[in-house]
Amino acid sequence: MAKLTMVQAINQGLKVAMESNPDVVVLGEDVGRDGGVFRATEGLLDLFGNERVVDTPLSESGILGTSIGMAVYGLRPVPEIQFMGFLYPAFDQLVSQAARIRTRSTSRFTCPITLRVPYGGNVKSPELHSDSLESLIAHSPGVKIVTPSNPYDAKGLLLAAISDPDPVVFAEPLRLYRSIREEVPEGWYQIELGKAKVAREGSDVTVISWGSLLPTCLRAAELANEEGTSVEVIDLRTVSPIDAETILRSVVKTHRAVVVHEAPKSAGLGAEVAAILAEEAILDLEAPVSRVTGYDTPFPLPVVERSYVPSDRRVLEAIRACIKF
């Protein structure tokens, strides 16, 4: 078994999917000859040819819109949008179209698309290259959103997404593309969508996060451990539909919860997690549900982004405050 980075695991996942299913096609800006601006689609053009690996015009709504037609007509398109901030121009096609084809046709037509899109900051990119939109998508019925926090999950979730009969946004945390290497099995394996993972067991407080900030949360948990606090870390993996059961099971045990994400706080997905707890576990909570998040500003320029994205320190402080409450 080879040790792969996340971007390599994704690349391998795409190869496996395309080998095992001739209906899988990959399309997007620079995904062919160039192999994708992050090399996630490297080598696919040579292996599968330019009918299945397509360099498209600069046209996000066109990429997703034509993918919908392909999906309805029996293919399994895997379009790429270069950064999550460029999902905005395709947002209409995502939430009013891809997400509603099934509803509109009372399930005569379906839309099995896996929309790959890198997201998240702290990689010194220009504006709109660091946005995290999981909350917008979680509020839009008919589409799912998944985000891996490590290479193994990345491949397994990607293959599950491609197999899913409905549209799935596969959000790839940019910052983790090459930061971790781990053993990734060759060939096909899937990680069931809709299931969170307990990434670290603990008993004093539950930290809930996903994707780009999982390593931060795990580091903060380790620091807390050194101070004698036992932290359980939950990796949602599938952000929508959310796995409320796993969250509740943990908080019923720990009685304390901290939610961590890098999107702005207001109406972020952290609010949904807190709301689930306020609705289903009010008697179990022994401290406020705290949210460690990006600020309510657009993602700022690289000079200050390290202070915008939740850090080990901020998560640790929230854990401490929660315990002390």
Partner 1 sequence: MVAKSRSTTKDASARYSPVQILNSEGELTGPSPVIKDEQLVRTLKLMIIGRSFDQRALSLQRQGRIGTYAPISGQEAVQVVSSLCLSDDEWMFPTYRDYAAMYVHGMPLRDLFLYPMGHPQGGRAPESVNIYAISISIATHLPHAVGAAWASKIKGEKKAFMTYHGDGATSEGDFHEAMNFAGVFQVPLVTICENNGWAISLPRERQTHSETIAQKGEAYGVAAVMVDGNDILALYKVISESLDRARAGDGPTFIEAVTYRLGPHTTADDPGRYRSQEELEEMKLKDPLVRTAKYLRGLGLLSESEEAEMWEEAKSLVGDALKEAESIAPPNPDFFFDHVYAELTPNLLKQRREFVPEEAE
Ligand X SMILES: Cc1ncc(C[n+]2csc(CCOP(=O)(O)OP(=O)(O)O)c2C)c(N)n1
Give residues in contact with its own copies (CB under 8 A).
Answer: 85, 88-89, 91-92, 95-96, 99-100, 103-104, 127-128, 135-136, 138-142, 240-242, 263-264, 266-272, 274-275, 277-280, 282, 285, 287-291, 296-298, 300
Q: Does 75 bind partner 1 (CB under 8 A)?
A: yes
Enumerate residues 22-41 that contact ligand X by CB under 6 A: 29
Please identify, using beta-carbon distances, which residue of 193 and 231 lies nearer to partner 1.
Answer: 193
- Shortest distance in whole angstroms from residue 82 CB to ligand X: 5
User: Rule CB under 6 A: is residue 164 a binding residue for ligand X?
Assistant: no
Specify which residues 209 forms β-bridges with. 235
Contacted by 136, from its own copies, ligand X, partner 1, none: CB < 5 to 8 Å by type: its own copies
Question: What whole-number distance in Å separates Cα of residue 40 and Cα of residue 323?
Answer: 41
| Of positions 43, 89, 298, 302, contacts ligand X by CB under 6 A | 89
Q: What is the DSSP letter of 296?
A: S
Cα distances (Å, whole numbers) of residue 57 to 47, 150, 157: 22, 31, 28
Q: Which of 41, 82, 149, 290 is in the footprint of ligand X by CB under 6 A?
A: 82
**Interface positions, 178-217, toward partner 1 (CB under 8 A):** 194
Pick 161 or 289: Cβ nearer its own copies: 289
Quick one: 170 exposed, middle or buried, by C-beta within 10 A (0-12, 13-18, 19+)?
Answer: buried
Helix axes of 214-226 and 312-324: crossing angle, nearest 10 degrees? 50
Q: 286: buried, middle or exposed (CB in 10 Å: 19+, 13-18, 0-12)? A: middle
What is the C-alpha separation between 211 and 301, in angstroms, rounded?
21
Q: Which of residues 233-292 bind partner 1 (CB under 8 A)?
A: 241-245, 265-266
User: DSSP letters of 210-277?
Assistant: -GGGHHHHHHHHHHHHHTT--EEEEE-SEEES--HHHHHHHHHHH--EEEEEEEESTTSHHHHHHHHH
CA distance 176 to 54: 26
91 binds ligand X (CB under 6 A): no
Note if 129 is an active site residue. Answer: yes
Residue 58 binds to ligand X (criterion: CB under 6 A): yes
Q: Apex CA 27: angle with CA 16 and CA 89, to 5°?
A: 130
The tokens for 58 are 């600069």
Q: Which is nearer to ligand X, 210 or 299 (CB)?
A: 299
What does the angle CA 139 – CA 124 – CA 308 come to, to the nearest 5 degrees?
55
In angstroms, give the least distance from the CB of 128 to ligand X. 7
Instruction: Give the range of 81-89, 152-160, 218-226, 304-312 binding ligand X by CB under 6 A.
Output: 81-89
Nearer to its own copies (CB atom), residue 69 or residue 288: 288
Of 18 and 143, nearer to its own copies (C-beta) is 143
Residues that bind ligand X (CB under 6 A): 29, 58, 60, 82, 86, 89
| Residues with catalytic roles | 129
